[in-house]
Each structure stands twice: as C-alpha cells, then as structure tokens.
Amino acid sequence: MAVGGEPPDTPHVLELNRDVVDIAEIRRWAGSALPGLNEDDLLDVQLIVTELVSNVYDHGEFPARLRLDAPSGDGSVRIEVEDASSIPPVLKPSSPHSARGRGLVLVDQLAGEWGVTEQRAGKTIWAVVPRTGGE
C-alpha cells in the first residue's frame, strides 16, 4: 500500500494480488487514503471500489491495482482499477431475479461518469465521483 506520508494530491495505489481478498480491508484502506471526504462521499467511493475490485477477482487477470486520486480543488475523486485482461466489462440491466450482475449498475448510478480505457496489456476501468460536501 502506498499511503502514509504522501502529499494529499498524490494518487494512492494499492497492488492487488491473486490471494483471496478481504474487501472490508480494501474499503478501510480507501477511507484512510481519502481522510477529507464527508461520510456520504466516502460511502459512494467505497461502494464503487468494492464493485470494481470484486470484478477484478471475478473476471479480470493479474497483475492488478487500485488507484485513488482526489486532487484538491478538483471537486471529485477518481477511482481506477487496472488489470491485465483486455475483456471490457458489460453494463447489463439488472433483474430482481438475478443473484449477481448489479455491480456496474451501481457504479453507473453513483459515479458522475465512468468508462474503460484500453491499455497495451489490459484495461483500466475508471469512475469519477463528484464530492457533495466539505473536506
């Protein structure tokens, strides 16, 4: 984890590995990386982080990493999850009868914008969450 001691405008990066992930630990990491967010904004960021990181473990390939960036004065938080798979995620309509498949629907609803950027080896799924309140 690249947290402690970094200036506030420095992106925070967490390398993800193939081991079984403790998503609660990743949410706590996001909270410590973004201490100036109000509770509502932090919950939105943590939910999006949960969904995007879970998708890496369900559908992606390693190596993978999570990056959080909240430049001061920007009014938003940028979340990026990079993995080695070139297969893009698919936003599907959710159904009350399906047990899974709602993650990107949640990301789509919570993020101001989101998308996928192809990389030479893999992809980056990103989401921008506008801040609603003070730091």
Q: Within a domain: residue 28?
A: yes
Q: What is the CATH number of the domain that holds 113?
A: 3.30.565.10
Q: Within a domain: residue 4?
A: no
Q: Within a domain: residue 5?
A: no
pLDDT of residue 71: 76
Selection from 54, 51, 43 nearest residue 127 by Cα? 51
pLDDT of residue 75: 83
Q: Within a domain: residue 89?
A: yes
Structure tokens at 49: 């982080």
CB-hemisphere CA count at 13 Å for 51?
Answer: 24
pTM: 0.85
Q: What is the C-alpha R_g of the chain?
A: 14
- The C-alpha atoms of residue 131 and residue 112 are separated, in whole angstroms, by 10
pLDDT of residue 94: 67
For residue 54, what are the domain limits? 12-130
- The C-alpha atoms of residue 134 and residue 44 are separated, in whole angstroms, by 15
Q: Within a domain: residue 3?
A: no
Q: Within a domain: residue 61?
A: yes
How many structural domains are present in the chain?
1
Q: Within a domain: residue 135?
A: no
Q: Within a domain: residue 59?
A: yes
In sequence order, the 6+-apart residues with CB closer than 8 A to the CB of 125 are 52, 55, 80, 81, 82, 89, 114, 115, 116
pLDDT of residue 3: 37
* Regions of the chain where pLDDT drops below 50: 1-8, 135
